[in-house]
Amino acid sequence: MSHHRFAPNEILPVRHALLSWYDVNKRKLPWRDWFDADQNVAAYRVLVSELMLQQTTVTTVLRYYDNWMKLWPTIESLANAVEEIVNDMNGIFPADVNEMIKLLPPNPVLDGNVMRVLCRLRAVGGDLKKKSTTDLLWSLATDLVCTQRPGDLNQSLIELGATVCTPSNPKCDSCPVQNFCCAYKQDDSNDSRKDDCKDIEECDLCLKSSYYVVSRGVKNYPRKTSKPKQRNETSYMVILYTIKNDKLYYFMLKQKQTRLLSGLWTFLEIDGCDGANSKKSKIDVLEKTRIVLATTMDLNMNGTITDIKLAGQCRHLFSHIDKKYVVYHGRYDDNMNFIEQTTTANSRWFDEEQLRTEAISTAMKKVFNVAVNEMNLKTDKKNVSYIIIMEK
């Protein structure tokens, strides 16, 4: 179950964060001012709002609620208009608001807003039509609601979903429970990304990687009902090579913990180029390569890059991406010790043998195959074979 449940030591702080946030941020809604009003009237108001909110959003309810209250300000006035309602309820509300609250049991609620918040908080990516997924969400809501203020806790989750953790524009930066949010921890785009909510492919409650779209971030939760279509993407790769003692070396960077090729070594990926082999496009590739080296890696690579050339293209199918790679290569030359100087935890020059044995993805092997022959022609040691046979 791992991160899908709140750890025992998380429940209190999550409740506290939700309730404190709610106390300050709750929207002023007409049915919330009920403690000061006549208790029968107040209970009636809450009931009407609850019934309306079952059907539609707060914004829509606000449009109708006041009109309703003008027309039927009390249960009696409504009863006069609709006699059968009175018959059903005997026209009587519990005299005591606390009695009324007791009738509305301190159960969790699980409307669309709450589901979304809980799915994101605990990175629940299971199929929402499956009982195992909804059972988990009920358990999570129950864990949180068992407090002195069950109603407010429920309302805080609903409110958070309606105003902060919204479907299409979640405002994680102002979210009171961001520290406990697994979807946020998984999101590549935030600086404090952590690995303690990693999805497990075999887990029914985790989001399968084929559903995860990096650009959607926390919005990957709750899971969309249909599997996303495989989308087309193009990446522009530069294989930077160098020749030292008649031996070829290729420069690679370790991917940060993104989903695609996470932790694996890849060639340099640059922004889109027009793909042609013109002088202009070569200068473009050169510039972009330098930018990647300078900005992504913070590497002090002041050597020269020459012989930029478009080698060709290849295609690789990831589970959810149909990726086209446009492959360039370019020769790098620098001072005597540059191989050592540019070797860091995340950047390295690979020789032929290392390329074979290190963690390099099939996609990068394909990329390499596009250019390997041409790069080998740059060495004139005819009796040495530099051709690397890689799996296709």
Give residues in contact with Zn ion (CB under 5 A): 203, 205-206
Q: Which does 203 bind (CB under 5 to 8 A by kind): ligand SF4, Zn ion, none?
A: Zn ion
Residue ranges in 273-302 that form contacts with ligand SF4 under rule CB under 6 A: none
Nearer to ligand SF4 among residue 164 and residue 286 (C-beta): 164
Q: How far is CA 354 from CA 200, 202, 261, 337, 386, in A?
A: 30, 32, 18, 19, 13
Which of 18, 75, 158, 172 binds ligand SF4 (CB under 6 A)? It is: 172
The answer to whether the beta carbons of residues 230 and 320 sit under 8 Å apart is: yes
Pairwise CA distance, residues 93 & 96, whole Å: 8
Q: Rounded to the nearest whole angstrom, what is the least distance from the CB of residue 183 to ligand SF4 in the complex?
A: 5
Cα 261–Cα 265–Cα 269 angle in degrees, nearest 5: 75
Could you tell me the two tokens for 304?
């020269």
Q: Which residue has the tokens 């530069």?
A: 238
Residue 177 binds to ligand SF4 (criterion: CB under 6 A): yes
Catalytic residue among 10, 50, 358, 374: 50
Q: Which residue, 23, 46, 152, is CA-closest to 97? A: 46
Stretch that binds ligand SF4, among 20-28, 178-186, 225-233, 371-379 (CB under 6 A): 178-186
Burial of 36 (0-12, 13-18, 19+ CB in 10 A): exposed
- Each residue 205-244 as x (binds ligand SF4 by CB under 6 A) or -, in order, gives -------------x--------------------------
Which of 100, 141, 165, 370 binds ligand SF4 (CB under 6 A)? It is: 165
Could you tell me the two tokens for 72?
């039927």
Nearer to Zn ion among residue 201 and residue 353 (C-beta): 201
Nearer to Zn ion among residue 185 and residue 366 (C-beta): 185
Could you tell me the two tokens for 165?
């953790």
Q: Rounded to the nearest whole angstrom, what is the least distance from the CB of residue 228 to Zn ion in the complex?
A: 19
Q: Got the DSSP string for 317-336? A: E-SSEEEEEEEEEEEEE--T
Stretch that binds ligand SF4, among 105-113, 117-125, 277-285, 298-306 (CB under 6 A): 117-125
The answer to whether the beta carbons of residues 235 and 273 sit under 8 Å apart is: no
User: Can you point out the beta strands (E) in the chain?
Assistant: 231-244, 247-254, 265-266, 268-270, 304-317, 321-333, 347-350
- Each residue 180-199 as x (binds ligand SF4 by CB under 6 A) or -, in order, gives -x-xx---------------
Residue 140 binds to ligand SF4 (criterion: CB under 6 A): no
Beta bridge partners of 176: none
Q: How far is CA 243 from CA 118, 130, 371, 372, in A?
A: 55, 57, 15, 13
Which of 124, 175, 248, 370 binds ligand SF4 (CB under 6 A)? It is: 175
Q: Which does 206 bind (CB under 5 to 8 A by kind): Zn ion, ligand SF4, none?
A: Zn ion
Give the number of residues in contact with ligand SF4, rule: CB under 6 A.
Answer: 14
Nearer to ligand SF4 among residue 184 and residue 236 (C-beta): 184
Q: SS3 for 85?
A: helix
The answer to whether the beta carbons of residues 238 and 253 sit under 8 Å apart is: no
Pairwise CA distance, residues 293 & 269, whole Å: 10
Residue 100 binds to ligand SF4 (criterion: CB under 6 A): no
Nearer to ligand SF4 among residue 52 and residue 175 (C-beta): 175
Which of 40, 178, 255, 289 binds ligand SF4 (CB under 6 A)? It is: 178
Active site residue 50: yes
Nearer to ligand SF4 among residue 207 and residue 218 (C-beta): 218
Which of 78, 123, 141, 164 binds ligand SF4 (CB under 6 A)? It is: 164
Give contact residues for ligand SF4 (rule: CB under 6 A): 117, 120-121, 164-165, 170, 172, 175, 177-178, 181, 183-184, 218
Catalytic residues: 50
